[in-house]
Amino acid sequence: MSCTVARRRRAVVLAGHAGDEGTARAGLTDPDPGVRASALGALARIGSLDEPTVARALHDRSPVVRRRAAELSAEPGPLGEALGDPDPTVVEAACFALGELGARAHPATADLARVAATHPGPLCREAAVAALGATGDPAGLPAVLAATADKPAVRRRAVLALAPFEGPEVDAALRRALSDRDWQVRQAAEDLLEPPAGTAV
């Protein structure tokens, strides 16, 4: 990073702490992606990051900016679109942000399920499964169940994501996980199947 770019980025960051919206917004059009990403964070700190700005940033030419926009977005619509981003770090960030929205993320359930089932990156599949568990949308359950047969890290996340769901297929998946070859998957299943302390069995 050149000294000039570093100064511009510092000015934008400081603007966020000082409540200088004008300087922060000016950073959105900076030629350096790090400055543009910092401008998004500065606007968020001020409380002036609106969704149109986030939506534009999600189409920025740099994945650094798109990832930061996904992290800061609070609307399921743009985040659902971000799940199709060619950069896996953007997809992962969008999954995490959708999980943070909880039930508000239900409009993106189909897109999350697609990522969980088909994305080539296991980190993205894991993040999508986690988000499906966090939102608790019954429409996402088939994708979570399917993920219990994925790679170990995804299987572990899928077992944990089953926590808000109920039904015979959920119980069956947890029982299968008790004999998984990965001990962490087995442990997660045991934790979910174990009755609460003080409960009669």
Domains defined along the chain, listed by start: 1-49 (no CATH), 50-193 (1.25.10.10)
Q: What is the mean pLDDT of each run of 10 residues along the chain (201 residues)?
A: 87 96 96 97 96 95 97 92 96 97 94 98 98 96 98 97 96 97 96 66 42
Yes or no: say if 176 and 188 are a contact pair by the CB < 8 Å rule: no
**Gyration radius (Cα) of the chain, Å:** 20
pLDDT of residue 66: 98
pTM (predicted TM-score) = 0.90
Tokens of 194: 């174990």
Q: Which of 40, 39, 42 is nearest to 17 (CA)?
A: 42
pLDDT of residue 201: 42
HSE value, Cβ hemisphere, 13 Å, CA-based, for 68: 22
pLDDT of residue 199: 47
Yes or no: say if 145 and 167 are a contact pair by the CB < 8 Å rule: no
Tokens of 156: 């572990």
pLDDT of residue 171: 96
Alpha-carbon distance of 50 to 37, in angstroms, equals: 15
Task: Find the helix packing angle between 152-161 and 122-135, rounded to 10°.
Answer: 0
Alpha-carbon distance of 72 to 61, in angstroms, equals: 17
Q: Which of 10, 19, 41 is nearest to 28 (CA)?
A: 41
